[in-house]
Structure 1
Amino acid sequence: MSLHHPSSLTLAALAALSLLSQAQAQSAPQPQSGDTLAPTAATSPAATPLSPSTPPSNQPSSAASSLPANAPTAAPAAPAAQQDAVLTLGTVRVEARSKGPLDVRRVFSSVDVLGASLLEDQHADYSWELLTRAPGVQVTQFKQGTDAGRFSFRGFNGEGRVNAVKLLIDGIPSNDNAGGMPYLDAVFPLEMERIAVVRGTNDARYGLYNIAGNADVQTRQGGNEGQASVTVGSYGTREVQLAKGWESGDWSQNYFIGWRDSDGYRDHADAHKLALSGKWFYTRNDLGWRAGLTARYFHNDALESGYLTREEAEQTPRISPAYAASDRSERTVSQVALHLDGRWNEVSSWTVKAYRNAYENQRFVRFSAAGVQQERDNDEHHEGLLASASWRPTVDWAHEVVLEGGVEAQWQHNEAQRYRTVDRVRTSQFRAWDFDQDSQGVYVQALIRPVAALSIIPALRLEHLDGQFHDLLAGKTYAMYDYGVVKQPKLSVIYAITPQASVYANWGRTFQIGSGIDAYKTQERNLRPSLNTGWESGMKWQPLRVLEGRLSYWEQRATGEVARVLGVDGLPDAGGNGNVGRTRRRGVDLQLSAQWSPTSRTWVAYSRQKATIVTPDPSAPLTAGKEIENVPHYLVSGGWDQQLAPRWKLSVWGNGQGGYYLERTNTVARAGQYIQFNTSLTYQASQQWSLQLQVKNLANRHYLYAWYDSGSSGYSPADGRSAYVSADWRF
């Protein structure tokens, strides 16, 4: 791959890491104790499985292997002292963390982990839909071709105007240039091992796009198990998923194939998806290192059903308007990454990842009958490098000390073109962008436990950005704004009051820059990045052996937020973003999870939030004190799993949200409120075979996604009631 030269900031960071590694190598190895967790299911009540955490192997080694795979398990043991504020839903296999980088569970506060048992048996059109089960997460459903939806949290909406969540897949950055998440479509549910969602501003590991937090999707790795799933269901849905791992000696390899074909709930909504992935790793435990290659490919060809008026969406939700008859989109993404990690000695380790992402999207879309059809083409290639080192010395003055530092660099080359079209035939071009965006960041953080019950995590991240923009139609070239070095200090504290309760607080700063042309100096004055400063305080407690919960209050303030201007029917468009002004977001999160018995588990999450404009842009004085569009006042989710009999399992889950304003003066009627429930019934026919009936939107409740811009609006109905039958085979 061809990489640009990193900036002096990155070179200095690499030199600092080299010096740190030399100091570590000179340290005498010391035995490490403390936070080792066995590679088994997580120990919190929420994570205690109703079914085994590991699929049956080809060669059962105990009498227990003759039992059905979803047989009840023992009740959870009494918990140890709370050392984090993490909540886990579903079964998660946790690796030992007495070595290597700091575990996300130990460093950050509002962390939620969705385990494989909650993900792999789901059947969704797109994988972002799985985040409806995550506490405090807003899922926005456009349901338009390949641009079908997104997720977000902490008072940022999923409109695409401000994409505030950093997405990673197996630790590899996976956003497009505007912060969108097209690479998430490439990971089908059966391939997922877990999703870790970090909400807030106190994660120093990532910079660009990490405005409100991040989500890391971890996929299957190693093992010799295989699993296949075949599904048929409503709206012509047909799906096949196949995952297989082989592990022998020092070598491991994993493969996945996913195919999904559907006619869609609405007319003119057909979609055809194909996903392929492979992982190859070589491990030398005797020498203390591991090397691997991962590769991923996804293609989606979809029709677009178009936006309706509110009356049409409520009365005839399944129709497609005539003006959208020739709208469609096609998307291809690929990701290749090299992984290398190891240790210098018993107390120090390192990890390096290098990757190349490619994203192509062609979309023909007409947003309203009064508008014109556009062809929107995006072609992006991102190359990057991440490296980190950790050191766990033994000291006399603290119970535990861990030091970690890292660098991240990404080089983007992006092309964006737009045309006026009639029935997908070009008539004129009104955008031709060719631009580079380079970013380099360095961070250092520490975990300090002066006593066993107290964890203090100070951190600092520095970011530098550079690039050049070519407006080919105008014949102009612009340099990126001189953002300088963006400083992002952070601090987290967790204190275990008792073995059953801990309190925590954190403070941190993240940043936002414009996307597309708005990151480049098209005017005389220089713009600074918008600084997003947030804090949070909360408590995680376990009042009963079977019940745990977390309650927190949070705020985030941005100095000069920018948001993408839709300009849906105004052609030619002026560019990309407009200034929102100084903003404030705040909210309360409450989560409860209970393992009532080895066969019964429930959980519920409620988030109250508000996003307001404190000081508006001078051109929009009427937005002062108003709410930011498409941010619902509350988010709610919950579920219940019940083992009805040794071979039968019932699951019920649901999610919903409050209404939101459609524009920033808050004069247009609110929309978007909904609540829906889903259920599944699973029959474990044998150790290897199971059958599942899944019903979504059980009550057939109607939900309308809505947008509004410059006097125009559009509504897209969510799917009605649907049913799916799946046969799963473990081998």
Structure 2
Amino acid sequence: MRDDSIIELGAVTVNDQDSKPGKLTSRDIASSVDIMNADKIADQNVLTAFDLMHRMPGIQVTQFGQGTTTGKFSFRGFNGEGRINAVKLLIDGIPSNTNDGNMPFIDALFPLDIESIEVVRGTNDPRYGLHNVAGNVNMTTSTGGNYVKGRVSYGSFDTHDIQSGLGYEKDGFSQNYQISYRASDGYRDRSASDKNSFSGKWFYEPTDKYKVGLIARWSEAGAQEPGYLTYAQQLASTTQATPHNPLDYSKRTIGQVSAHLDVNVSETLFWSSKAYSNIFDDQRLVMFHPAFAQVKRDRDEVQYGAITSLTYHPTISWLDDFTIETGFDFQQQENKYRQYRLTNGIPRTPANNTNIRNDEDWSFLNYGGYIQAVIKPTKWLKLTPGYRADVVDGDFFSNRPNSTTPGASPTFGAFPLNDYGTISQPKIGAVITPIEGYSLYGNWGRTFQVGLGQATFILNNNQKNIGPSLNDGWEVGVKLQPVDWAEGRVAYWMQDASNEISRNLASADSTMIGPTKRQGVDIEVKVYPTDRFGVWAAYSLQEAKTTNPSARVINTMEYVAGNQVVNTPNYLFSAGLDYQITQEFRSCLWTSGQGNYFVDQANAAGQHGEYALLNLDLGYQVSKEVELQFQAKNLTDAQREYLWYDESYGTGQRFPFYSPGDGIAFYGAVSVKFDY
């Protein structure tokens, strides 16, 4: 009996690994889970892999359109700006967030190499701690098989890319390689970019007893930054670049290497371990407004860590099924952040407190463990109690010169860590399936948020210890699949934070904005009555509000009780129609969009951001190995923009910044795959 709450988009590929015993997966979590498979991914023309999330249900995609800082995705009422990074990203099971929770490691992925994207929403998944505030996303890439595949495309804005992949498997040893390159002049003036990526996978599985492997991934990217437009400028032309910042650019290098070991200790006991290292080197020169200084931002992060779990799946006569898993993970980070002012690309002198905005070195350690049980007293009832605990440690040293202003807090020296203590996170979930195809599920859980970057530490003489912000959330939903070709899911959820931490996008400082409440409804349906025709649709209502901000927050940030958290759309939607016109000719017409949001914390500057995009995908199978592809994006040439309302300064110096999204665009491609 199927008793999960998962909905999949695209063709499901079943392999031998699916039937083997192993560690618990998202299918064992009593929560809303969505999976998008390779056939809905490989033919997409995207600047960065986060753009693939437009098709995923209930996902907000925030597009900055500035150099390598292209955008981010988020869900469950958390925005994608970076003020509150609430989604844990994993690539092939490896943690892939930077220290502040952002997701630049996604740059190394190209669509042709992605096998699936899995989204787990909610607070009751105990496998992950840090950044797992609203849920997690795992992107898996090609492993195993014997194939040669490639894709060459060209389209609007002189966009061209080459993607290639090779798989070879024999006698228990598999090798997979991927090399890709992409370049574009961009929709706007002075927005050219290019990116390359390489990855290799080597796995050895001589018997069913164990499997050992190594994954390496490297990517380099560079881009011009067209700048943020004023309201009048974007009305005049959405393709123009701002005249005050001709030197703005960004470049980025990322790398990941991981070792994997899976061992079937016995028929009922499974051990899985991973060790990894991530590097992130990012440089950005930016001038947001003529009234602002030009700044150079340098980030350098090195992460290393390990994840291990032990899964026990015995046969118990008085239970229908039982599994218990315990796990431990840690991540150590060594981070550097420099931000200094320039004039015409040259650092300003003297090197004092005014001209050096940040000069920081800090270590950050997070470790935690969990226990998760999956108990089925009967075929129609599944219970998933769990518990997780996390600890945060680290040290911080600032090289920024002290201010000469009398009474100012020191900015030079070592600063202590906030005492977060042991962060306790109980979880519980249940799925009731009284009739095959009809499941009622619910869950409750706790996740956490701590200060990131300098906000992890006590930097002010008058600052008190700040504990973690605890996020308590619950969800109740129903999953329906009355027939094989139709399924749907409806869920209502709520999530309360005890003392939410919001980052200032301009200064990298953080502020506790106090308790917040998020709630929403997610609706999904998928109907494929024949092999040739199918429709899918998703609609999410959501809201995020402050409930009891402190007097300091009210006075400085202008949040008051009941205000909506900025840049959180009140609804999200996606839908598509798949039609196989002939045996060789396929089509997909699909749309995605979002509602309006408030751009300022006082909720006084109006609502912005609503858009709807219409896209068309066509494919013609010339032969078993070769397909011709065509894609039209934003068919109606809808105007949309990301709007950032900078609140770093007093009310008389606040500016709304506009970054227009791409207009109508067309792409053609040839995709080949030879299996041998």
Match of 2:511 among 562, 578, 594: 578
Deviation at 1:544, TM superposition (A): 4.3
Alpha-carbon contact 1:204-1:459 (below 8 Å) kept: yes
Superposed CA deviations along residues 443-498 of structure 1, whole A, max 9, x for unmatched, are 00000000011110000000011000001123311121111100000001001121
The separation in 2 between residues aligned to 1:225 and 1:534, in whole angstroms, is 44
Residue 605 (structure 2) pairs with residue 668 (structure 1): yes
Which residues of 2 match residues 45-84 of structure 1 at below 5 A?
81-84=1-4
Deviation at 1:546, TM superposition (A): 2.4
Match of 2:310 among 389, 406, 427: 389
Residue 284 (structure 2) pairs with residue 376 (structure 1): no
The separation in 1 between residues aligned to 2:514 and 2:102, in whole angstroms, is 22
The separation in 2 between residues aligned to 1:142 and 1:501, in whole angstroms, is 41
Task: Kindly provide the amino acid, as one letter, of the partner of residue 279 in structure 1.
Answer: K
Specify the SS of the correspondent of 2:295. Answer: strand
The separation in 2 between residues aligned to 1:96 and 1:625, in whole angstroms, is 47
Aligned to 1:113: 35
Residue 504 (structure 2) pairs with residue 565 (structure 1): yes
Residue 382 (structure 2) pairs with residue 452 (structure 1): no
The separation in 1 between residues aligned to 2:522 and 2:357, in whole angstroms, is 45
Superposed CA deviations along residues 126-149 of structure 1, whole A, max 9, x for unmatched, are 100000111011000000000100
Residue 224 (structure 2) pairs with residue 303 (structure 1): yes
The separation in 1 between residues aligned to 2:35 and 2:13, in whole angstroms, is 11
Task: Kindly provide the amino acid, as one letter, of the partner of residue 722 in structure 1.
Answer: A
Aligned to 1:6: none
Q: 1:303 to 1:492 in 2, by over 3 A?
A: same
Superposed CA deviations along residues 307-336 of structure 1, whole A, max 9, x for unmatched, are 001232233000001012110000000000
Residue 13 (structure 2) pairs with residue 93 (structure 1): yes
Unaligned stretches of 5+ in structure 1? 1-80
Q: 1:291 to 1:446 in 2, by over 3 A?
A: same
Alpha-carbon contact 1:515-1:576 (below 8 Å) kept: no
Superposed CA deviations along residues 166-213 of structure 1, whole A, max 9, x for unmatched, are 000000000000000000111100000001100100100000000000
More divergent stretch after superposition (396-405 vs 613-622): 613-622
Residue 629 (structure 2) pairs with residue 696 (structure 1): no
Aligned to 1:487: 424
Match of 1:709 among 638, 646, 653: 646
Task: Kindly provide the amino acid, as one letter, of the partner of residue 728 in structure 1.
Answer: S
Which residues of 2 match residues 89-488 of structure 1 at below 5 A?
89-94=9-14, 95-97=17-19, 99-286=21-208, 288-427=209-348, 428-473=355-400, 474-488=411-425
Task: Kindly provide the amino acid, as one letter, of the partner of residue 539 in structure 1.
Answer: V
Aligned to 1:594: 527
More divergent stretch after superposition (521-530 vs 395-404): 521-530
Deviation at 1:97, TM superposition (A): 4.6
Aligned to 1:644: 581
The separation in 1 between residues aligned to 2:6 and 2:531, in whole angstroms, is 21
Deviation at 1:601, TM superposition (A): 1.4
Specify the SS of the correspondent of 1:596. Answer: coil
Specify the SS of the correspondent of 2:528. Answer: strand
The separation in 1 between residues aligned to 2:544 and 2:502, in whole angstroms, is 14
Alpha-carbon contact 1:83-1:106 (below 8 Å) kept: no
Alpha-carbon contact 2:97-2:105 (below 8 Å) kept: yes
The separation in 2 between residues aligned to 1:482 and 1:584, in whole angstroms, is 25
The separation in 2 between residues aligned to 1:362 and 1:212, in whole angstroms, is 29
The normalised TM-score by structure 1 is 0.87
Unaligned stretches of 5+ in structure 2? 349-354, 401-410, 648-653
Superposed CA deviations along residues 79-126 of structure 1, whole A, max 9, x for unmatched, are xx3310100001232442551111211223110000001111111001
Specify the SS of the correspondent of 1:616. Answer: coil
Alpha-carbon contact 2:171-2:206 (below 8 Å) kept: no
Q: Where does structure 1 differ by over 4 angstroms across 4 or more consecutive aligned residues?
A: none
Alpha-carbon contact 1:108-1:198 (below 8 Å) kept: no
Residue 582 (structure 2) pairs with residue 615 (structure 1): no
Superposed CA deviations along residues 495-552 of structure 1, whole A, max 9, x for unmatched, are 1121121000000000001111111122452111000000000000024442110001
The separation in 2 between residues aligned to 1:109 and 1:565, in whole angstroms, is 32
The normalised TM-score by structure 2 is 0.94
Residue 652 (structure 2) pairs with residue 719 (structure 1): no
The separation in 2 between residues aligned to 1:366 and 1:486, in whole angstroms, is 39
Deviation at 1:342, TM superposition (A): 0.9
Specify the SS of the correspondent of 1:267. Answer: coil
Alpha-carbon contact 1:435-1:467 (below 8 Å) kept: yes
- What value does the CA root-mean-square deviation take over the aligned residues? 1.1
Alpha-carbon contact 2:23-2:325 (below 8 Å) kept: yes
The separation in 2 between residues aligned to 1:562 and 1:712, in whole angstroms, is 23
The separation in 1 between residues aligned to 2:59 and 2:442, in whole angstroms, is 20
Aligned to 2:405: none
The separation in 1 between residues aligned to 2:484 and 2:399, in whole angstroms, is 65
Specify the SS of the correspondent of 1:93. Answer: coil
Match of 1:510 among 443, 447, 451: 447
Residue 484 (structure 2) pairs with residue 551 (structure 1): no
Alpha-carbon contact 1:92-1:194 (below 8 Å) kept: no
More divergent stretch after superposition (98-107 vs 126-135): 98-107
Match of 1:684 among 621, 624, 627: 621
The separation in 2 between residues aligned to 1:96 and 1:697, in whole angstroms, is 38
Alpha-carbon contact 1:535-1:555 (below 8 Å) kept: yes
Specify the SS of the correspondent of 2:52. Answer: helix
Specify the SS of the correspondent of 1:375. Answer: strand
Superposed CA deviations along residues 243-280 of structure 1, whole A, max 9, x for unmatched, are 11000102100000110010000000000100100000
More divergent stretch after superposition (619-628 vs 608-617): 619-628
The separation in 2 between residues aligned to 1:693 and 1:351, in whole angstroms, is 42
Q: 1:692 to 1:357 in 2, by over 3 A?
A: same
The separation in 2 between residues aligned to 1:108 and 1:218, in whole angstroms, is 21
Alpha-carbon contact 2:144-2:169 (below 8 Å) kept: yes
Alpha-carbon contact 2:30-2:430 (below 8 Å) kept: no
Larger RCO, structures 1/2 (Cα 8 Å, 6+ apart): 1
Superposed CA deviations along residues 145-170 of structure 1, whole A, max 9, x for unmatched, are 00100000000000001110000000
More divergent stretch after superposition (653-662 vs 472-481): 472-481
Alpha-carbon contact 2:334-2:362 (below 8 Å) kept: yes
Alpha-carbon contact 2:646-2:657 (below 8 Å) kept: no
Alpha-carbon contact 1:82-1:501 (below 8 Å) kept: no
Match of 1:532 among 460, 471, 480: 471
Aligned to 1:28: none
Aligned to 1:45: none
More divergent stretch after superposition (530-539 vs 545-554): 545-554
The separation in 1 between residues aligned to 2:304 and 2:516, in whole angstroms, is 33
- The count of residues paired between Structure 1 and Structure 2 equals 644
The separation in 1 between residues aligned to 2:192 and 2:12, in whole angstroms, is 35
How much identity, in percent, do the aligned residues show?
41
